[in-house]
Amino acid sequence: MSLPGCPDKCGDVSIPYPFGIGDRCAAAGLSRFFNLTCDGSRSPPVPMLGDPGAQADVIDFSPERGELRLYAGLSYACYASSATSPSTNATFAFSLVGTPFRVSPSRNRLTVVGCSALGLVFGTAGGGGGDDDDLYATGCFTYCAELNAAGADGAPCAGAGCCQVPISPDIPYLGAAFRTGNWTNTAWRFNPCFYAMVAEDGWYSFRRRDLVGVLAYYNETVDAGRGVPVVIDWAVRDGWCPATAEERARRKYACVSDINECVLREQDPKYEEMYPCRHGICINTPGSYRCKCKDGTKRDGTNFGCQQVLPMDWS
């Protein structure tokens, strides 16, 4: 739900508060990153998140989950021979330090596409690369001696042509890369390029043709397409709402985004089941809600409903 007098959509995408188009409509006092740009040069218009020059297209918002989805890039390394250094390569990383966003660990995975590829997801908890930052890395290896030895189209990414691993939570600087130092691509004749991406779980479906051609998959996904879908958690961080000192130090954010569950209940009947308040008055609270019982009623044994004290008609 947007603020009164503010655009509630950009193209086909609904814009929920604290996000908004422009400072007046966004919770810019909490973070400038809640301020979106609506790109009207495209049809339909597309909401964009981030600072100018580093903006990403937003796919949609899920206020009830505290999530948004956006399109991101991917990393690659291409070989023109069996040399131990790639002929061309690029690395894509998320730099979310100082923002209310984190890459969702439960809704994304590292996906590596290639044969004879060791793909990595790397990051730092602090994000600045200093000595005090907690370094993080994990990865997986793919192998196929020839194209026909790769998995069939649609096969699970279990190592024959592609592999996948989960990522760690609360890493503000996060990227995908490869082991390239003293690394020989033994499959370069039929698989010249490797790809690595942090992507929405379940989005990628393996195809043997993704292994073939120089940057063919990259051109199809990023240049001709819009990129790789990624699920981002958004939260109210670092003192924007109360938290214990221990939790603030451990998690570096205070609480999840304050969704107005009571407004959502009024907007769509599906939320009445998600946020129940049977025969009561819904009252929003920071990070949650409570169900207040009316005069003549009492709690029904749960925190989410009321029952009559004396015989009465609910209709």
Q: What is the chain's length? A: 315
pLDDT at 226: 87
Write the burial class of residue 269 (CB in 10 Å: 0-12 exposed, 13-18 middle, 19+ buried). exposed
Contact of 234 with 68, CB cutoff 8 Å: yes
Q: How does DSSP classify residue 278? A: B
pLDDT at 258: 53
Q: How does DSSP classify residue 221? A: I
- Structure token pair of residue 233: 């958690």
pLDDT at 200: 97
Q: What is the domain partition of the chain in residue ranges? A: 1-54, 71-233, 261-308
Omega into 18 within 30° of 0, i.e. cis? yes
pLDDT at 311: 54
- CATH code for residues 261-308: 2.10.25.10
pLDDT at 126: 62
pLDDT at 214: 95
- The model's pLDDT over 253-276, given as tens digits with 9 standing for 90+, comes to 334 445 677 877 787 676 777 778
Give which of 13, 106, 4 is closest to 63, Cα–Cα.
13
Q: How does DSSP classify residue 151? A: P
Give which of 55, 37, 54 is closest to 46, Cα–Cα.
37
pLDDT at 302: 77
Beta partners for 46? 39
pLDDT at 259: 64
Question: Three-state DSSP class for 219?
Answer: helix
pLDDT at 29: 80
Q: What is the pLDDT along the chain (315 residues), one digit of tens a residue?
A: 777 889 999 999 999 988 999 888 998 888 899 999 999 999 999 999 998 888 999 999 998 888 999 999 999 999 988 776 788 999 999 999 888 899 999 999 999 999 989 999 998 876 554 454 578 889 999 999 999 999 999 999 999 999 999 998 888 899 999 987 777 788 999 999 999 999 999 999 999 999 999 999 999 999 887 899 999 998 754 433 333 444 434 434 334 445 677 877 787 676 777 778 988 999 887 656 888 998 888 888 777 889 888 654 444
Give which of 89, 256, 105, 229 is closest to 172, Cα–Cα.
105
